[in-house]
């Protein structure tokens, strides 16, 4: 550990400015310009980690059947796991002052790194577009609150105009450079931490107790209604939300709906009773439900003194037979752990883009350990707590499936324009700080690395922004989280190769001037490709993702980040351990 914390800053002593691989922005950051300390590194992680996906992940775990405590343990463990390689990969950033694409030239080759870095950039551009659209929705919500207009569902000109406004705000910080980004993260971090404390306070105050709120998580761990089979008969079981005391159901009645063409009627509502289990074989058989011949759903309503409140329509499915086995439960834990590790898989690759500005190794290690796991745990808990508080604090939530799983939905449930405007401004700050640090710096450097003499950091940032528009994020906003495991399978091998190369093969020693030479050591005899890295990457990626298409090998896909990382790390070491790592001496003809 002492060796890891030892600060050694290597300066570029040879003039390589003539090289097509060199530019001022890709050059090592000199010691005199290292201005980021522990607080700066911690605050940038606070700014990145406080985002809607962080809020969502923990809530989704509860929705999948985990307890709040199980969800929090998985999140804690996953973020400690990913912080370790994050710190290891950040070491070279501090020591040599170079960004991710330049560092990657060492292991992948001066041309081979484009494969890994473009992959990283595409992912970041996708997230940039999605986060910018979310920020635009916050601006749109503020506009609606100020004008008193009606919000339009789906895509609209107003939402797109708000998206463009927020896009220009992002581009402003890109244009101003890394010091403005540092200022933004310093400004945002304390505000975002206070928002979390405020939300916790709201939940406790409205629900009359901390423990009462957390007890509600049990109501979210199971479906409100489902079908059960017993002796070839079909039963409907109902267990809707209760008030905070657990003695009274929030809904008064339910209605079974048969097929999509069925409409609600005032005559078919039935009262809700404790432990309700009704034989509905006369309505549909087990075989009809299994074959899909009959689609069943259910709705709930609260009479509410003559002004009924209705739930959404809940599609019914057959419950799995028997209790969940211990092995199956552990497997669920592992899958969620992989997804959470994949959450920051992209940043673990490009963290040198940030640590190159750190003053010392201690600053980057302490800053990341304070900022990443701490913030992720805190805001994941906020997501859990506030969702649990909402189901008892809002009368309109009758079933767990209608709980406000994301902060945007939660904020829309408040009637006060002042609350909506204030909270959406905070949402803008959170989204902006995440977007700039996590989704702009890395791709801007990647695009600059393609043509160092022609594409600057600013231009790379503009390219990132344009791609963020072209992907039309409003079209696939709901599907972005499903990419986490797939992405982790692609990026795990890259990180494994880079860490094996830097720590095991080269013992943290890089010939700095060679990374900027077209025909230097890291051009790998002029080809620009390190064949060992290409083989290790292809093998690790192939095994990690083969389960996506081959059901029998789905085990490897479910553990994609770990599969790819471990295999590529080991294979790269075996392929590289006996190779020459010293540049050839310069021969001068006399």
Distance between CA atoms of 443 and 244, rounded to whole angstroms? 48
* pLDDT mean over 457-469: 93
* pTM for the whole structure: 0.84
Band of pLDDT at residue 587, cut at 50, 70 and 90:
very low
Distance between CA atoms of 112 and 528, rounded to whole angstroms? 6
Distance between CA atoms of 294 and 285, rounded to whole angstroms? 9
136 and 540 in contact (C-beta within 8 Å)? Answer: no
* pLDDT mean over 284-292: 86
* pLDDT mean over 55-67: 80
3-class DSSP state for residue 508? coil
Position 321 scores a pLDDT of 61
Question: Which range, 95-104, 115-124, 174-183, 284-293, has the best average confidence (pLDDT)?
Answer: 95-104
Which is more confidently placed, 503 or 261? 503
Q: Could you read off the pLDDT of 495-521 as tens digits, one per residue?
A: 999 999 999 999 999 999 999 999 999
140 and 158 in contact (C-beta within 8 Å)? Answer: yes
Statement: residue 108 has pLDDT above 90 = yes
Name the percent of the chain lying above pLDDT 90. 37
Domains of the chain, CATH where assigned: 40-205+330-481 (1.10.4160.10), 224-315 (2.60.40)
Statement: residue 41 has pLDDT above 50 = yes
* pLDDT mean over 402-409: 78
* pLDDT mean over 556-565: 85
Band of pLDDT at residue 590, cut at 50, 70 and 90:
very low
Distance between CA atoms of 435 and 511, rounded to whole angstroms? 33
Band of pLDDT at residue 573, cut at 50, 70 and 90:
very high
Position 550 scores a pLDDT of 85
Question: Which range, 181-185, 322-326, 563-567, has the best average confidence (pLDDT)?
Answer: 563-567
């Amino acid at each position: 550990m002492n060796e890891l914390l030892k600060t050694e800053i290597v300066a570029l002593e040879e003039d390589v400015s003539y090289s097509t691989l060199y530019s001022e922005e890709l050059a090592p950051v000199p010691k005199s310009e290292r201005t980021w300390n522990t607080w700066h590194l911690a605050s940038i992680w606070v700014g990145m980690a406080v985002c809607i996906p962080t809020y969502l992940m923990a809530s989704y775990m509860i929705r999948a059947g985990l307890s709040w405590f199980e969800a929090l343990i998985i999140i804690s463990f996953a973020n400690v796991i990913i912080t370790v390689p994050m710190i290891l990969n950040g070491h070279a950033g501090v020591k040599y002052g170079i960004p991710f694409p330049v560092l990657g030239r060492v292991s992948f080759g001066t041309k081979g790194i484009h494969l890994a870095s473009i992959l990283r950039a595409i992912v970041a551009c996708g997230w940039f577009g999605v986060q910018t659209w979310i920020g635009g929705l916050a601006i749109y919500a503020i506009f609606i609150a100020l004008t008193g207009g009606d919000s339009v569902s789906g895509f609209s000109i107003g939402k797109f105009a708000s998206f463009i406004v927020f896009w220009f705000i992002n581009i402003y910080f890109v244009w101003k450079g890394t010091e403005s980004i540092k200022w933004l993260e310093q400004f945002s971090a304390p505000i975002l931490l206070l928002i979390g404390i405020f939300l916790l306070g709201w939940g406790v105050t409205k629900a009359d107790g901390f423990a009462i709120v957390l007890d509600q998580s049990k109501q979210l761990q199971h479906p409100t209604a489902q079908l059960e089979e017993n002796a070839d008969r079909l039963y409907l079981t109902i267990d809707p939300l209760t008030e905070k005391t657990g003695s009274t159901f929030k809904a008064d009645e339910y209605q079974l709906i048969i097929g999509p063409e069925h409409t609600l009627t005032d005559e078919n509502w039935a009262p809700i009773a404790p432990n309700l289990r009704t034989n509905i074989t006369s309505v549909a058989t087990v075989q009809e439900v299994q074959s899909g011949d009959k689609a069943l759903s259910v709705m709930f309503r609260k009479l509410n003194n003559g002004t009924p409140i209705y739930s959404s329509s809940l599609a019914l499915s057959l419950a799995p037979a028997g209790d969940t086995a211990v092995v199956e439960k552990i497997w669920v834990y592992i899958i969620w752990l992989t997804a959470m590790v994949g959450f920051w898989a992209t940043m673990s690759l490009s963290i040198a883009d940030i640590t190159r500005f750190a003053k010392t190794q201690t600053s980057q290690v302490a800053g990341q350990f304070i900022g990443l796991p701490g913030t992720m745990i805190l805001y994941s808990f906020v997501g859990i707590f506030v969702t649990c508080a909402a189901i008892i604090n809002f009368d309109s939530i009758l079933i767990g499936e209608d709980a406000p799983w994301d902060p945007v939905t939660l904020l829309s449930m408040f009637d006060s324009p002042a609350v909506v405007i204030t909270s959406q401004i905070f949402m803008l700050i959170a989204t902006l700080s995440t977007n700039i640090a996590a989704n702009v710096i890395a791709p801007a450097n990647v695009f600059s690395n393609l043509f160092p003499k022609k594409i600057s950091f600013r231009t790379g940032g503009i390219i990132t922004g344009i791609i963020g528009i072209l992907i039309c994020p409003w079209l696939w906003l709901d599907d972005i989280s499903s990419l986490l495991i797939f992405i982790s399978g692609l990026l795990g091998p890259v990180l494994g190769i880079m860490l094996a190369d830097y720590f095991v093969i080269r013992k943290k020693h890089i010939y700095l001037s060679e990374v900027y030479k077209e025909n230097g050591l890291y051009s790998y005899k002029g080809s620009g490709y390190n064949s060992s890295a290409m083989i290790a990457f292809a093998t690790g990626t192939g095994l990690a993702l083969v389960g996506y298409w081959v059901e029998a090998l789905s085990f490897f896909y479910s553990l994609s980040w770990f599969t790819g990382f471990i295999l590529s790390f080991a294979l790269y070491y075996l392929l590289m351990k006996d190779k020459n790592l010293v540049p050839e001496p310069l021969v001068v003809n006399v």
